[in-house]
Structure 1
Amino acid sequence: MLVTIITFLIILGLLVLVHELGHFFVARRFGVKCDEFGLGFPPRMIGFVKDPERPLGPELEAEGAKRAEGSGVLGFFKQWKIVKRKNKDARGNEKEYKNTIYSLNWIPLGGFVKIKGEQGEEAKDEDSFAHQKLWKRAIILSSGVTMNFIFATLLLSIGFIIGIPQVIDEITPKYASVKDEKIQLLSIQKDSPAKQVGLEVGDIVVSIDNQKFKEIEDVQKYIQEDDDGEIIVTVKRAGEEIEQTVTSEVMEIEGGQSKKAIGVVLAKTGTVSYPFFQAIWQGIITTLYLMKLIVLSFYHLFKDLIVMHKVTIDIAGPVGIAVVTGQVVRLGFIYILQFAALLSINLGIINFFPFPALDGGRVVALGIEAVRRKPNNQRIEAVIHNIGFGVLMVLVVLVTYRDVVRFGGKLMGKIFGYFDDVVS
């Protein structure tokens, strides 16, 4: 349980941090000042800022570089100053520095970037976000989402280099290396004999009636020709072998034919790895494919919500994601990589929804500004974004409540069980 919680926090924190790094790097590239870049969320534990007392100017920058060079490593560290948690001046206002504050914060969930002028203030300053041209602001706002997609591609590419479990078929490239071939349950029909005895999607077929098989066709043929009707299926699940007696039935399959079966779809799978450059390409096309699937899923979600007035797709909140994380952790490192990549793509797509408070909503606001050809009223825009943020928080609470109802019993049992083990 503890490993699941830690893994969940690390994955979520890393994805948020990557997103904020995207905003940070692009803002700096366009000459926009970032007041603070924080690892974790406030309250601040400690912060560092580079030579805050030094006046700005190219000649003084050169002087500072010369001073650092002359002092070696010690000179480099002398350029930095510690910023206290309560960084207030005599009037109680937050002190401002010429350079970015890099802070370490107490809540270990990702990070944040505070960009100068992101709320429309200080528009006259050249290093303010509000002073930049519309296209620059749009790119800065979009850079977090872009970074999430790039990070997902990186994770998947690493996975394809190491080797990712996937279905092996005739379209698997010849240059791919395939190891650990096996037959797995790809899907199980509702109320089928396999479902009734507790077989699950992802189970690895070890043997049937103590006979081992290498090809799916041989498994299907054996079941169809079995006179007894009862077969002993041995599967491997999470490293443990499970034996179940399944009674086959005459079932209708594709094409209108009827054959003896147990109601499962089998797939030949293996660990597939690729050469370096091919792995990168596979990472790119897999990211694009997953983006397409996720966008289509959201389309059907909203369509059913509007037309049928109900949600027909399972939506997972923080608790649901934590539960899935626990399942993924048990499967191993390579599955954690794939799961993190999928979450990164999800985070990117959701963040670009044209909804107030999200990056997509802020880009829409820029579009309105472009059409009107004059700046938006910042007070009104801020109110709209605050309302949007409030709505999002309500949705998070509702989805979390739904998760707790679905998983709460098992989850609380595991939590209390963990603490019982600690106490005993």
Structure 2
Amino acid sequence: MTTVIAFILMFGLLVSIHEWGHLIFAKRAGMLVREFAIGFGPKIFSFTKNETLYTIRLIPAGGYVRVAGEDPEIIELKPGHHIGLEFNAANKINKIIVNNKSKHPNARVIEVEHADLDHELRIEGYEIDEEDKLRFEVDPKAFFVMDERETQIAPYDRQFASKSPRKRGMQLFAGPMMNFILAIALFLFLGTFQGVPVDEAKMSEVQPDSPGEEAGLQENDEIIQIEGESISTWEEFTAIVQDSPEEELSMTVDRNGEQESVTVVPRAVETPEFTIGQVGVQRAFEKSFLGTFEYAFTQTYDTTNMILTNLGMLITGQVSIELLSGPVGIYDATDQVVQTGFMNFVMWTAILSVNLGIINLVPLPALDGGRLMFVGIEALRGKPVAPEKEGIFHFVGFALLMLLMIIVTWNDIQRLFL
């Protein structure tokens, strides 16, 4: 149950902060945000505030911000339609009753001859059995009412396509950007409450029943030599240990100013790619105000570099697609991390936040990066790509991404259960 709660909280935080970035910059640009959703599928909770419907949906596989104009508008008024009109105090249309007009006895029913709800904001038509043409102005925040559900109209200046490439690009980039900011904030939290890792090969804790405890290693020991070779950093220490599973290593440690000799046999641990050695010790930390900020930014940079390197290896075929993890694999990894403590869970969340930011910037269809690519092409050529061509690109790409997700999830299930 602890893992389930942790996974839900982590997933909710990562997706919410990502979509919140899209939401804030869409509203700053004057776009009409129809919906802010966490998850997909049927709604399980919703409320409306400041023109936007906020929903939590059943399937925890992402989220979205639906901006007016990104998809075809839900309702289109065509000549011959019979609609009901309600008016505000300024005598402008504030409700357009599409059906069930009998439930709105005060609505003025007309037959549409012409409607422009994008630019001119007017409706022209005739009352039933009347010949005089009528013209009505539409409030920019008027609503369609269909099946007794209200949907706000979206004049062109509130639509995504009406904004400059710079504003659209910033709205798309804001989601991944917020994931990087979240990672920095989480690493700041770790640096503040846990401390900043020391550079030296100094340990803060020796795990029970570990090779390190069996060898006699103690808290605050500092490794200064392995097999006669000087050791000055934690990275040097861990690299030798990981490369020496089940091999006897002679170490010299500095313990309270005195040198002690110990012999350690790293335990072999299987990973998806290879076998590594572990001795069961944790790195020492120290409190540092300025060091905390340096740590937050360097950890975010190092994590970004690591993920980009692995992504490049995947693209070039140096690593197999079978090593990718989907929601099932991430849940399993989260379960293992949760058991090691809260601070490790926070670090895992920060790493996943960077990963989510990077993946969304990859120029693939249906992702932020793919849409940013089209905005960039428009900025370079001075005119947008035909909506039909862009739509096909995203549709085909989304289908391929769903296929990839199915394959990755199946690989996760095989690793865990088969």
Residue 120 (structure 1) shift? 7.2
**Cα RMSD (Å):** 3.6
Q: Give the number of the structure whose residues are more often strand, by fraction.
A: 2
Residue 373 (structure 1) shift? 2.1
TM alignment of 1:58-69, pairs within 5 A: none
Cα contact 1:34–1:116 (8 A) shared by 2: yes
The count of corresponding residues between Structure 1 and Structure 2 is 302
Pair 1:140-2:171 in alignment: yes
String of CA shifts for 1:113-151, please: whole Å, max 9, x gaps.
211112376696112111001111111011000011001
| SS of residue matched to 1:355 | coil
Task: Choose from 351, 355, 359 the match for 2:360.
Answer: 351
Residue 162 (structure 1) shift? 1.0
Q: Could you tell me how far apart the structure 2 residues matched to 1:289 and 1:247 are? A: 29
Q: Could you tell me how far apart the structure 1 residues matched to 2:355 and 2:183 are? A: 10
Pair 1:9-2:8 in alignment: yes
Task: Choose from 207, 212, 215 the match for 1:205.
Answer: 212
Give the counterpart letter for 1:140 in structure 2: Q
Gaps of 5+ in 2: 74-117, 120-154, 229-244, 251-262, 267-276
Cα contact 2:264–2:279 (8 A) shared by 1: no
* Aligned residue in 2 for 1:182: 205
* Aligned residue in 2 for 1:326: 335
Cα contact 1:13–1:111 (8 A) shared by 2: no
Pair 1:112-2:135 in alignment: no
Inter-CA distance 339–32: structure 2 relative to 1 (3 Å threshold): same
* TM-score after normalising by structure 2: 0.63
Task: Choose from 410, 413, 416 the match for 1:401.
Answer: 410
Pair 1:389-2:398 in alignment: yes
Gaps of 5+ in 1: 52-98, 173-179, 186-198, 223-245, 252-259, 410-424
Residue 391 (structure 1) shift? 0.5
Inter-CA distance 218–28: structure 2 relative to 1 (3 Å threshold): closer
Q: Could you tell me how far apart the structure 1 residues matched to 2:306 and 2:405 are? A: 23
Q: Which structure is richer in relative contact order (CA contacts within 8 A, separation 6 or more)?
A: 1
Inter-CA distance 219–43: structure 2 relative to 1 (3 Å threshold): same
TM alignment of 1:19-418, pairs within 5 A: 19-50=18-49, 99-107=51-59, 111-119=63-71, 125-163=156-194, 166=197, 168-170=198-200, 181-182=204-205, 203=210, 205-208=212-215, 215=221, 217=223, 262=265, 269-276=282-289, 278-303=291-316, 305=317, 311=320, 314-409=323-418
Q: Could you tell me how far apart the structure 1 residues matched to 2:224 and 2:68 are? A: 66
Larger gyration radius, structure 1 or structure 2:
2
Q: Could you tell me how far apart the structure 2 residues matched to 1:204 and 1:279 are? A: 31
Q: Give the number of the structure whose residues are more often helix, by fraction.
A: 1
String of CA shifts for 1:334-361, please: whole Å, max 9, x gaps.
0110000000111110111011111101
* Aligned residue in 2 for 1:81: none
String of CA shifts for 1:87-122, please: whole Å, max 9, x gaps.
xxxxxxxxxxxx222334444566432111123766
Q: Could you tell me how far apart the structure 1 residues matched to 2:190 and 2:219 are? A: 28
* TM-score after normalising by structure 1: 0.62
Cα contact 1:141–1:362 (8 A) shared by 2: yes
Q: Could you tell me how far apart the structure 1 residues matched to 2:53 and 2:221 are? A: 60
